[in-house]
Chains A and B, each alone.
Chain A
Amino acid sequence: MDERRSDLKKIIMDTKTLPTLPGVINKLNSLSNDDKSSVQEMARIVSADQVLSARILRLANSPSYGFYRVSTISNAMILLGVNVVKSLALSSSIFEIMEKNSVGLWEHSLGAATAAGIIARKLALPEVEEITTAGLLHDIGKVIIGLKCAEQMPEIRRQIKLDDLYISEAEKAVLDTDHAEVGGWLSKSWFLPEKLSEPIAYHHNVAGSEDHRIKTSVVHLADVLIKASGFGDSGDSYVPPIQQVAWDALKLNELLLQEMVVELEDKLVEVKNFSLELANAAAV
């Protein structure tokens, strides 16, 4: 393995915390002061933040608890308890608040989660919540790269712009790896279940997934659809094509796709409102 790549991998394996959006924290905090707040309501808010979700799943899957493979936020919250989740959220907020320019990526993640949920339901797939979670976390690698490779970021951005590259191509050129692979490493070192780590690692290369190709295909499609919708900011200005492997795995056709797009457009209005609500919570 190339030196840069193995250095980066080592850094990622040592990564224990990631920054969270302040709005999500404030919202959670105000909720949990109210005794009646239910697990479901808290799960809804946590599920809006890819980073906090990743941390909670990491904790639920950590060997000290002895649970094997917790893959949804609501299950993690049931097992960890509201108090643990709350203090985890608060402990992350004080020192590591996400920068303003990450809001675009956060919206992209939230949008991809929404799209993944719509696709999964449309195709009547099992484990919709797992698929939604995978959609939410699919770009977690970008958060880490932004954090751990801050020095190389200007060069990555320059290449995207000047050489007309997709993010992952520019990342490969500069870092010798990309956010999908990095996200895969992180999810492995955090003991996240394969039904999450595979879609994260292969959302740009569906053919690479073996055991969870359907879920990976959904996340890939969700990523493409949300980029096409213009919701949020993934960092890419072009919409990538839908990979044939994914098209085949999901047995898609034009009509189905059209229905999904219409449903997604409606739903994104709601998501936008929710994201504004959280942005306002941050301002309080």
Chain B
Amino acid sequence: MLQQSRIALISSQAQLSSLLQLRLQSKGYQVMVVEKTAAALGTFYSDPPDLIIVDFSSPCVGCHDMLCMVRGDSFFSPIPIIGVFPTGMEQESWDDFPLDDFVTTPLNFTELVSRIVLSLSRIKRIFDNNPLTRLPGNTSIHRAIEESLGLPLAVCYVDINHFKPYNDVFGFSHGDEVIRMLARIMANAVRESGGGFCGHVGGDDFVFIVPRERAEQVCSTVISHFDQIVQTLFDEDTKQRGYYLALDRKGQKEQMPILGISIAIVPMDSPGISHAARVAEVAAELKKLAKGNKGSSFVVDRRSGMRE
């Protein structure tokens, strides 16, 4: 069965919303109507829609802020948003307006449906984000690293220590949960420190980019939050012991420590970093150092004349 796309409709006009709801449902969409902007975020956060339609033809108090909040969270930012405007009242500057498309009133219903279909198919096509974590994937990561070359930024490579045995012992759905948790922890820490870029390379590999002077602090936050959350994944006995049993390649029982993470910080303004591929190489070398530590840790690339 084809899964129905779910559309959230924000409008204070009961007439418009019930009409739209009826017509969209007849096209096979599931529609949830949100009358009050203030209630919208709570609804979206607990039950994210596939597409949002916002009615700007009637007063929409707090709509702009609400849409910015949706856009600001990596988990929700890919959701396409279509605005409904009275003819002639379209925005002149779209720069600060978090919309993907718009239609005008009086509504041409066929046009609206076409725009919905196009928005949904566009998001599928250009969606570089990782389906598990919804963080940007490799194309975006590569671009972000290229753009930060030579700037006072730090590219931080994150991965989970001993992730494979955890996946093997506890099953991939628990493995996926750890990945999702790390993604959220990282994205929140970067955002709350003042912003930056977050990407998911794949598997248990992540990248984030923040200003150089904030890098260590963000890494510490990510590590302390991850170490706290990870405690909830193991039972009391395992936590007390500090390890669980897994089979190594030869089928021998091996003691695996509680999950931790390693982060390699590569400052982008050091002379040794001349092109994007070099960043990954340096990070790989640093990772080996970080992995030498017990538990979670981060290592900074200081070899190429870093100013401290």
Contact size range, B: 20 to 34
A78–B229 alpha-carbon span in the complex (Å): 8
For B180, give its contact among A65, A72, A83, A88 (CB under 8 Å).
Answer: A65
Q: Judging by beta carbons under 8 Å apart, are B192 and A88 in contact?
A: no
Contact mask for chain B residues 171-199; partner A; CB cutoff 8 A; 1 contact, 0 none: 00010110011001101100110100000
Q: Which chain B residues numbered 185 to 237 have a C-beta less than 8 Å away from chain A?
A: 185, 187-188, 191-192, 194, 225, 228-229, 232, 236
Minimal beta-carbon separation of A159 from chain B (angstroms): 35
Q: Which chain B residues numbered 227 to 286 have a C-beta less than 8 Å away from chain A?
A: 228-229, 232, 236, 239
- Is A69 an interface position by the 8 A CB rule? yes
What chain A residues lie within 8 Å of B96 (beta carbons)?
Answer: none
Q: Which of A91-99, A147-155, A180-188, A275-283 contacts B (4 or more CB under 8 A)?
A: A91-99
Q: Judging by beta carbons under 8 Å apart, are A91 and B192 in contact?
A: no
Given contacts A74-B228, A81-B192, contact A62 B41 (CB under 8 A): no
For A79, give its contact among B46, B181, B236, B239 (CB under 8 Å).
Answer: B181
Q: Judging by beta carbons under 8 Å apart, are B42 and A95 in contact?
A: no
For B188, give its contact among A59, A64, A78, A95 (CB under 8 Å).
Answer: A78
Q: Which chain B residues numbered 100 to 124 have a C-beta less than 8 Å away from chain A?
A: none
- Is A82 an interface position by the 8 A CB rule? yes
- Is A271 an interface position by the 8 A CB rule? no
What chain A residues lie within 8 Å of B177 (beta carbons)?
Answer: 66-68
For A91, give its contact among B39, B180, B188, B232 (CB under 8 Å).
Answer: B39
Q: Which residues of A contact B (CB under 8 A)?
A: 16-17, 35, 39, 55, 58-59, 62, 64-72, 74-75, 78-84, 87-88, 90-92, 94-95, 126-127
Q: Which residues of B contact A (CB under 8 A)?
A: 36, 38-42, 45-48, 69, 72-73, 75, 174, 176-177, 180-181, 184-185, 187-188, 191-192, 194, 225, 228-229, 232, 236, 239
30 residue pairs A–B, Cβ–Cβ below 8 Å: A17-B39, A58-B46, A62-B46, A64-B47, A67-B177, A67-B181, A69-B232, A70-B232, A74-B228, A78-B184, A78-B185, A78-B229, A79-B229, A80-B45, A80-B188, A81-B184, A81-B187, A81-B188, A81-B191, A81-B192, A82-B188, A82-B192, A83-B69, A83-B73, A84-B73, A90-B38, A91-B39, A91-B41, A94-B36, A126-B239
